[in-house]
Structure 1
Amino acid sequence: MFSYSPDWWLINVATSCIIIISMVAYFFCTSTFGKWEKLNVPYARPIPLFGNFLTVALGSEHPVDFYKRIYNEFVGHKYVGLFQMRTPYLMIRDPEIINRVLIKDFSYFPDHGIYSDFSANPLSNNIFFIENPQWKMIRHKLSPAFSSSKLKLMYEQIKECGEELMKNISKSILEHNNNEMEVLDVLGKFSTDVIGTCAFGLKLNAINDDNSEFRKYGKTLFKPSLRILFRELCLMISPVLLKVIKLKDFPIEACKFFHSAFHETISYREKNNIVRNDFVQVLMQTRRDLVLNENIHPSEKLTETHIVANAFVMFLAGSETVSTALSFCLYEIALKKDIQDKCRDEIKSQLLKKNGVIDNEFLADLNYLDMVLKETLRKYPPSFALFRKAAQTYRVPNDSLVIEKGQKIMIPLHSLHYDPQYYPNPEVFDPERFSQEEKSKRQSGTYLPFGDGPRICIGIRFAEMEMKLALVEILSKFELEPCGKTDIPLKLGKKALMVLPENGIWLKFKKISS
C-alpha cells in the first residue's frame, strides 16, 4: 500500500501551478512571434518577451544603432519584420514603398500609431498623438499659424532674440575670460525665447535668465530617465499595462507647469481681447470654432484640454528640436573650417547685396547655408524613425505583401540617411550632397528629417527660418573651433528618445574683429 502525505500533495500542486504559470507566461511572451513567418516576411529572430529589443531595453544599445543593425542585416530586402518586445513592427527599407505609405497611399496610413493614455496624459492629446479624423481637422485649423505671411512677421522677433544671444555670448566671454561654451544649452535658451515670443507672445528672456522656468522644465521633457524607458517597454509589451499603471508620458511637475502657463496665456488673451498674429491667436480661433461652438457635430467637438495640449506640443517641438539641430550644425562646421568660411562668405555677400536687410528673399538666396543645414539634418535628424499604423488592410503594389489593419510600421529614416547606396561615405559631413545636381540624382523617400506627405512636420518652415537667422547672427560675429572638451567623434546618449549628444557639444567662440 502507498501512503500519500500532505506534504507530497502540496509539492505536486505547487509544481503543477509553477509549470502552468510558466507555460502561460511563455505563451504570452511569444504569442506574437509567428507573425512574420506566417506572412513570409524576412525577420530578425526574437527571444521571449524582449523580441529583438533586449540590448535597447538594457541600455547597452541606442535605438539608432539597433535599427541600423537590423537595416544593414537585410540588405536587398524591401522590408523586414522585427519585434519591439512583443509588438511586431514592419520596417520598410524600400523608398518606393515609403513614398506610398507617407504620400501616395496616405489614406491607408494616416496615424502615427503611438499610444498614449489621454486620461493620464492630457497634454499628449495633441496633433502628434491623435488619430484621424480629429488629426485632419486640427491640422487644418493650425496650419494658418505657419503661413508665409505669418512667418514674415516673425523675422524681427527672431532677430531680436538673436541679438540677445550675441550679447549673452559676448558677455560670457568677457566676464569669465573663457570662450569655451556648451552650445546645446546656449542655443536651447535662444530657441526657448524664439518660440515663446513668436508663437505665444511671451517675453521669456531665457537667454539671460538661468532660472527661467520655461527653460528648466523644457529641458526635463527629453531628459533620459528610467521612467521613460519603463514606459516604452510597457507599451511594447502591451498598451494595457499603461492603462493599468497610469504612467506619465512626461514628468508630472513639467506637465503641471506647462498646462498652467498655456491655459493662463490663452485665458488672459481671451478676457482682454488681445489680438496678435501668432500661434495663440490661431488656437483661440480653434477654441471658438471647435470647443465653444454648439452647432458642430459631436464628432468634431474638441475640449479645452485639446487646445492647451497643442500649445504644449508646439512649444516642445519648437524649442528642443531646433536647438539640437543648430548645435549639431555648429559642431560640424567648427570641425571643417572651409565649410564654415564658405557659409560666412555667402552671408557677407548677401548682406552687402541686400544693404543689410534680412528678409525672405535674403534667406532664400543663402543656398550654400541651406545645403549645410540639410546635410546637418541628414546626419542628425530630430528623430531616428517615423512610425505609422495601417488604418485598413493594404496590399503593397507589385508585391505579395498584405499589410493588415492595425499593423505598426517603422520607417528607419536615420538608417536611410546613412545608407551608402544613397549617400556615399555617409559618416562624412558633405553639404555638396544637396546641390541641385546631386539632389536630382537621388531617389525620393531617402531624405526624411521632418517626415513627408500630409503628416510632415507642421512647423518645418518656421524651424528652417529660425535656424538660418541664428546662423547668420553667429557666423557674422564669431569663428567657431573645437576645444579640449569637444568630443571627436561625437558620442550619442544611449538612453535618449531623440538623437542627442551624450556629453553636450563644447566649442570655442572667437570674436571676429569689426
Structure 2
Amino acid sequence: MTPPVAPDASPEQFPLPPGRSGLPVLGETLAYLRSSRAFTEARRQQYGNVFRTQLFGSPAVLLLGPEAVQWIFAGEGKYLTNRWTPGVRKLLGARCLSLIEGSEHLERRRLLAPHFSYATMRQFVPAIESLARRHFERWAAQPGDFTLWEGMRGLAFEIALTLIFGQDSADTSLLLHHFQRWTKGLFSPLTVDLPFTTFGKAMASKKVMLDYLERVVSERQKLAEQPPDLLGSLLNTRDDAGQPLARELIIDELQLLLFAGHDTTVTATSNLMLQLAQHPDVLQRGREAVASVEEPLSLDGLRSVPYVAQLIHEGMRLIPPIGGAFRTTTKDVVFQGFRIPKGWVVPVSITSAHAGPEWPNPNQFDPNRFAPNQPEQKKAGMYLPFGGGPRICLGQHFAMVEMSVMLVLLLKHYTWELTPGQDLTYTRIPFPRPKSGIQLRMRPLASATP
C-alpha cells in the first residue's frame, strides 16, 4: 500500500517503488537475461505492477500494464530519453534516426515517413514476390532438411537490398557476410575494439559496409533522375530550406535500414512457420483463407485476406521479435504514487505486455484474437511489436507487406515438416530463436503425400 502523499507534493516526497537491488554491480541482470518474462511475472506477483531492481549496472523500475506502456511512450522527450547499449551506439551511424533525439528526431521522421507509407509499398510487392518464389523453390528442391533461420536470413537480406537499391546489382554475398559479423557486435557485452573480439570484428565489418555504401551513394548522386527505390527517395528528399540530405546522413540511414529491415522479419516469419507446423488446424485454415488470392500478388489482394494479418499479428504477440527497449529518466518523476529518480532505467517490456493478464490464455497460439470482431487487442499498450510513441518503427508497413507476401506463397504452394529430435528451446538474446535454428523439410504442396 502506497503511503498517502498530497497530490501537489514534489517528486522527492513520494516513496521509491518496492523491490530489491540484488547483487553488487550485477544486480538482478542474470535472472532478467535468463527469462525476462519469468523474472517480470514473479516480481509482479510479489510487488504489483510497479517495482524496482538493478539491471546492467543501473537502478531500474519496471512498469507493467497498458497504462504504464502508454505513460512510457508519452514521456519521449519530456521525462524519458532513449537508451542504447555502448555496442549499438558505436556500431550504428551516429546520425541515424534511432540515435538522434528531440526536434532533430521528429524532423527526420517527418522527412522519411512518406517513403514508408503503406501505399508506397505497392511498388515493392512484385520484387518481394519474385525473390520469395526463387528462395522457396530452392528450399523445397533440397533432398533433405535445412535450417530455416539461415535460409530466411538470406531471403530477408536480399529483399532489404532490393528495397533500398532497387534493381541495382548489389554484392549480396559480401554485404551479407559483413552484415552478420556487424550485427553480432551490436549486442556484444564486451565492446573492446580488438581484431580477435566479436566487437572488433564487427567494427571492421562496419568499415567495409560503410565504404561500400559510400561508393554506391556517390555513383547514384551522379544520375540525373533517381530510380523509384528507397535510396532514390533519400537522394530526392529536401529539407524545409530546400537542401538535400548530407551524404553521411544517407549512409547512416542505409545502414540502419539494413538492420531494421532484416532481423526482426527473419525472427517473426521463422517463428510463425514453427507455430504453424505445430498447429496443423491453424495451418489448414490459413491454406483455405489464401486459396482464392490471385497471382501475381498485389497489395489489394493481400488486404483481401485478413486472416493472413491475423496469423502474423498473433505470431508476433506470442513471440515478439524484439522483447523490449530501454529508456532513462531525465528528471525525477512520479508514476502511480511512486518516485522514479533521474537517471534510472525504465525498460519497455514488450514480452510482458504481450503476455499480460489482459490477454486470455496468453500462452496459447490463437489468431482469432485479432479477428475484426475481437476488441481485446484494440486497447493501447497491449500489443506493440513495432514499439510505440514517437519512436514506433518507421518500416512497420514494409515488414507487414513483406511477411504477408511470404506467408501467402508458403500457404498456397508449400508444406513443411519439423525434423524430429531437434532442440526447440529458445534463446532470447539478441532475438528469440530456437537453438536448432528450426530444422525442417519443405516440399511443393502438390507433391506432398496425403
Is TM more than 0.5 here? Answer: yes
2:189 alignment partner, one of 226, 229, 251: 229
Measure, in 2, the Cα distance between the counterparts of 1:454 and 1:152: 25
Contact in 2 for aligned 1:191/1:322 (Cα 8 Å)? yes
> Match of 2:374, SS?
helix
Indicate yes or no: 2:187 matched with 1:253: no
Residue 164 of structure 2: aligned partner: 199
Aligned length: 432
> Match of 1:223, SS?
helix
Letter in 2 for 1:88: P
| Residues 192 and 123 of structure 1: CA distance in aligned 2, closer, same or farther (over 3 Å) | same
Measure, in 1, the Cα distance between the counterparts of 2:348 and 2:90: 28
Shift of 1:151: 0.9
| Residues 109 and 374 of structure 1: CA distance in aligned 2, closer, same or farther (over 3 Å) | farther
Letter in 2 for 1:331: L
Contact in 2 for aligned 1:192/1:214 (Cα 8 Å)? no
Indicate yes or no: 2:124 matched with 1:154: yes
Structure 1's unaligned 5+ residue stretches are 1-34, 207-211, 235-241, 295-301
Indicate yes or no: 2:249 matched with 1:278: no
Residue 145 of structure 1: aligned partner: 115
| Residues 506 and 120 of structure 1: CA distance in aligned 2, closer, same or farther (over 3 Å) | closer
Shift of 1:161: 0.9
Measure, in 1, the Cα distance between the counterparts of 2:255 and 2:363: 35
Letter in 2 for 1:285: N
Residue 342 of structure 1: aligned partner: 285
Indicate yes or no: 2:361 matched with 1:429: no
2:425 alignment partner, one of 482, 491, 501: 491
Residue 4 of structure 2: aligned partner: none
Shift of 1:36: 11
| Residues 457 and 182 of structure 1: CA distance in aligned 2, closer, same or farther (over 3 Å) | same
| Residues 415 and 224 of structure 1: CA distance in aligned 2, closer, same or farther (over 3 Å) | farther
Contact in 2 for aligned 1:222/1:498 (Cα 8 Å)? no
Letter in 2 for 1:165: H
Indicate yes or no: 2:178 matched with 1:217: yes
> Match of 1:411, SS?
strand
Query: Over residues 72-125 of structure 1, what are the superposed CA-to-partner deviations in whole Å (9 max), with x where a residue is unaligned?
Result: 32236231111114311221113112112214x544256322254899546253
Structure 2's unaligned 5+ residue stretches are 1-10
> Match of 1:480, SS?
strand
| Residues 250 and 329 of structure 1: CA distance in aligned 2, closer, same or farther (over 3 Å) | farther
> Match of 1:509, SS?
strand
Indicate yes or no: 2:397 matched with 1:461: yes
**Rg (Cα) greater in structure:** 1
| Residues 464 and 322 of structure 1: CA distance in aligned 2, closer, same or farther (over 3 Å) | same
Residue 511 of structure 1: aligned partner: 444
Measure, in 2, the Cα distance between the counterparts of 1:96 and 1:433: 20
Letter in 1 for 2:406: A
Measure, in 2, the Cα distance between the counterparts of 1:428 and 1:146: 32
Query: Over residues 378-402 of structure 1, what are the superposed CA-to-partner deviations in whole Å (9 max), with x where a residue is unaligned?
Result: 1221211122233455443xx3234
Contact in 2 for aligned 1:262/1:308 (Cα 8 Å)? yes
Letter in 2 for 1:512: L
Indicate yes or no: 2:412 matched with 1:447: no
Measure, in 1, the Cα distance between the counterparts of 2:97 and 2:281: 41
> Match of 1:112, SS?
strand
Residue 417 of structure 1: aligned partner: 354
| Residues 96 and 269 of structure 1: CA distance in aligned 2, closer, same or farther (over 3 Å) | same
1:372 alignment partner, one of 311, 320, 330: 311
RMSD between superposed Cα atoms in Å: 3.2
Measure, in 2, the Cα distance between the counterparts of 1:107 and 1:423: 30
Shift of 1:47: 1.5
| Residues 440 and 417 of structure 1: CA distance in aligned 2, closer, same or farther (over 3 Å) | closer
Measure, in 2, the Cα distance between the counterparts of 1:395 and 1:322: 36
Indicate yes or no: 2:206 matched with 1:267: no
Contact in 2 for aligned 1:115/1:129 (Cα 8 Å)? no
Residue 61 of structure 2: aligned partner: 90
> Match of 1:137, SS?
helix
Q: Percent identity?
A: 21
Query: Over residues 258-287 of structure 1, what are the superposed CA-to-partner deviations in whole Å (9 max), with x where a residue is unaligned?
Result: 21222222111101334122221232235x
> Match of 1:230, SS?
coil
| Residues 43 and 155 of structure 1: CA distance in aligned 2, closer, same or farther (over 3 Å) | same
| Residues 74 and 166 of structure 1: CA distance in aligned 2, closer, same or farther (over 3 Å) | closer
Measure, in 2, the Cα distance between the counterparts of 1:265 and 1:112: 31
Letter in 2 for 1:50: L
